[in-house]
A = this chain, B = another copy of it.
Amino acid sequence: MNAPALSQARCGDCPIRHRAVCARCNADELEELDGIKYYRTYEAGQPIIWSGDVMNFVGSVVSGIASLTQTMEDGRTQMVGLLLPSDFVGRPGREGAAYDVAATTDVVMCCFRKKPFEELMERTPHIAHRLLEMTLDELDAAREWMLVLGRKTAREKIASLLAIIARRDATLTPGGATNRMVFDLPLTREAMADYLGLTLETVSRQISALKKDGIIELEGKRHVTVPDMRRLMEEAGDDSDGGFLG
């Protein structure tokens, strides 16, 4: 993590410049954002926000992965979102946080104090418009996940998760989407279970089964090779390849 370097970084050099909430901003608007932004870093496993807390800031994930989770009184937890670089955290116009946010890997956040950001958004349609677009995308993702949670088998759930991670990796990697994909799992078995609505034992079993059937290859616990994405998509129960390949 190069947080110290980042804390002086200009928005123009920002790695998520073209995908985050500020994607549509012009030079003047960026200048304003520059004035109210600050960076924060979190180590893997650390909480970022507690559900119910007053939100003093909103912001974007610059690097690393964070998770959004809900917990019931008896301890059952469900991950309701995975936050990747450029994803937005916090809801303008609301006081308290609705979910727990935690760093899954080491995370760097670009934060804005909430009030100034809200004021800036009021008079900057570029930001409001981009935020609407991002929120609609998240809503689509959440609804896609509802199908996974409600109707897919354990094996299909695992395959769906691996496919999503592979796809996201493809968008960040030069070379992009190919039929053979190699990536590292950013989640523990328990985090995968929380995301998929399963137990960690079932996750482990199904990963072993996919490995035995040659759908995936494992090196260590986290390094995954998918020799044939098409087969993985079939296992996920998605129609055709979900648009993964051209």
Which chain A residues have a beta carbon within 8 Å of chain B's beta carbons?
68, 70, 72-74, 76-78, 80-81, 91, 93-94, 98-99, 125, 128-129, 131-133, 135-136, 138-140, 142-147, 149-151, 196-197, 237, 239
Contact = CB atoms under 8 A, between A and B. Distances in A.
Contacts of A132: 128, 131-132, 135
A173 to B, nearest CB: 26
B150 A78 contact: yes
B239 A143 contact: no
Contacts of A197: 149-151
Contact of A149 (B73, B94, B131, B150): B150
A202 B11 CA distance: 54
A132 B136 CA distance: 9
14 contacts: A70-B143, A72-B237, A77-B151, A78-B147, A78-B151, A93-B133, A93-B136, A94-B136, A98-B140, A131-B132, A132-B132, A132-B135, A135-B135, A135-B136
User: Taking each of A98, A149, A196, which has the highest tally of chain B beta carbons within 10 Å of its own beta carbon?
Assistant: A149
Report the copy number of this chain in the oligomer. Answer: 2
A92 to B, nearest CB: 8
Contacts of A131: 132
Given A132-B131, A135-B132, A239-B73, A145 B147 contact: no
Contacts of A143: 68, 70, 80-81, 98-99, 142
A139 B99 CA distance: 12
A142 B146 contact: yes
Given A147-B78, A197-B151, A91 B136 contact: yes
Contacts of A74: 237
A144 B72 CA distance: 11
A193 to B, nearest CB: 10
Nearest to A129: B128
Contacts of A149: 146, 149-150, 197
